Amino acid sequence: MLKELEEQYVLPTYTRNYTNFVSGKNAVLKDENNKEYIDFTSGIGVVSVGHGNERVAKAICEQVSRITHISNLYAIEPQAKCAQRIVRQSGYDMKCFFANSGAEANEGAIKIARKYGEVEGQVKRYKIITLDQSFHGRTITALKATGQEAMHNYFGPFPDGFTYAKDIDAIEGMIDEHTVAVMIEVVQGEGGVQPLDKVKVQALEKMLKKRDILLIVDEVQTGVYRTGEFLASNLYEITPDIITMAKGLGGGVPIGVVMTTKKEIFKAGDHGSTFGGNYLSTTAANTVLDILEEYKNSGELDRMLIKFELHLNALFEKYPKIFSSSVGFGMMRGLRVVDAPTLASIIKTGHEKGVLVLKAGRNTLRLLPPLTITEVEIIEGFKRLDEALSTL
């Protein structure tokens, strides 16, 4: 019934799995047949504090019973508090703008950079350099910023001003007088869980600052403790000019944020969002931030990161004919698979065995569990993944 309903009324933008999930608790999902699955995907890095989180549910219910939305024509108390929390936990001296998704946050980052390039300097600067295999969103401008040519088919003409460096070493040679920013993910998610070299990222930051070129770091997937620290930028020990976040910030409620050191760049009317940062989304985000800050400070997050890595490494070492390398940080991990058909078989067989995993890039098995995953859930998830691999 679900399959027929969707095929009749929903545009086919995804290759669907028609499992009908009806409930969840932390890293465990149940379908309509009461089959349980260990979720190593967390909705592609979104459900950071797990499914059915009681604290988030209570906060949302209490807020919705009072006010869900009033628009940004009025000050919104949980939005202001959320901005304060994000800035404080990041350790950076910035201000925030709230949107509804990672793509919208990246659009905001591009607008900040473009305005900076318009008002600062002797010539108009508008060009932004991104990396091959990057991913920055599905809106037209964010899509053009994405360094994957196959994603550009059909949707042009695109906004001008985006060029793609084959790697971080090539960036400096591509800069000209019209370059205003470089936009990177320090760990490419959709591009294959590919971390950039820390020393090279630090050198890039120093070079850009000397040339008054902005560094934008897309932390849509890496942010909110996904790599073990609040931001991957903290892990890399850099201070970007602009940072974008989304995914895990709302624990499942749509939210995005762009934060910047250029605190006075936007004036009233330069940018906006009807829904961005409303009572619902920022109340959810504040609760998620409460939970994860407590979890990090208690040492439990770091303990589970170690447990997850130990089980991941054991699986990697057990199947040298299937996996060629292990990549990533924290709870953003990947295993390079020998070929695409084998990767597809792992995902399919894993689902049959009751563990959900993801694909990234051409041949990477991607694991993005809830950050609150328990040791019992980790053990059971890897047990099921092992069972799936043993059948290949």
Give the mean model confidence (pLDDT) for residues 92-115: 98
Each residue of 29-74: pLDDT tens digit? Answer: 999 999 999 999 999 999 999 999 999 999 999 999 999 999 999 9
Each residue of 199-216: pLDDT tens digit? Answer: 999 999 999 999 999 999
Give the mean model confidence (pLDDT) for residues 94-102: 98
Q: What is the pLDDT of residue 121?
A: 81
Place of tokens 């490494």: 313
Indicate the domain borders of the chain. Answer: 2-53+299-390, 67-296
Q: State yes or no: pLDDT of 120 exceeds 90.
A: no
Give the mean model confidence (pLDDT) for residues 88-104: 98
Could you give the maximum distance between any two Cα atoms of the chain, in Å? Answer: 65
Place of tokens 């792992």: 346
Q: What is the mean pLDDT of the chain?
A: 97
Alpha carbon distance 281, 60 (integer Å): 8
Each residue of 335-383: pLDDT tens digit? Answer: 999 999 999 999 999 999 999 999 998 899 999 999 999 999 999 999 9
Give the mean model confidence (pLDDT) for residues 233-251: 98
Q: What is the pLDDT of residue 385?
A: 98
Q: What is the pLDDT of residue 18?
A: 95
Is-same-fold flag (2-53+299-390; 67-296)?
Answer: no
Each residue of 133-144: pLDDT tens digit? Answer: 999 999 999 999
Angle at 82 between CA 78 and CA 83, to 5 degrees: 120
Q: What is the pLDDT of residue 53?
A: 98
* Better pLDDT: 122 or 247: 247
Place of tokens 């609150």: 372
End-to-end CA distance of the chain: 32
Q: What is the pLDDT of residue 24?
A: 98
Q: State yes or no: pLDDT of 122 exceeds 90.
A: no
User: If we measure between CA atoms, which residue out of 149, 150, 189 comes closest to residue 166?
Assistant: 149
Q: What is the pLDDT of residue 297?
A: 97
pLDDT above 90 as % of the chain: 97
Q: What is the pLDDT of residue 351?
A: 98
Name the CATH architecture for the domain at 67-296.
3-Layer(aba) Sandwich (3.40)
What class, spelled out in words, does domain 2-53+299-390 have in CATH?
A: alpha beta
Residue 1's pLDDT band (cuts 50, 70, 90) = confident
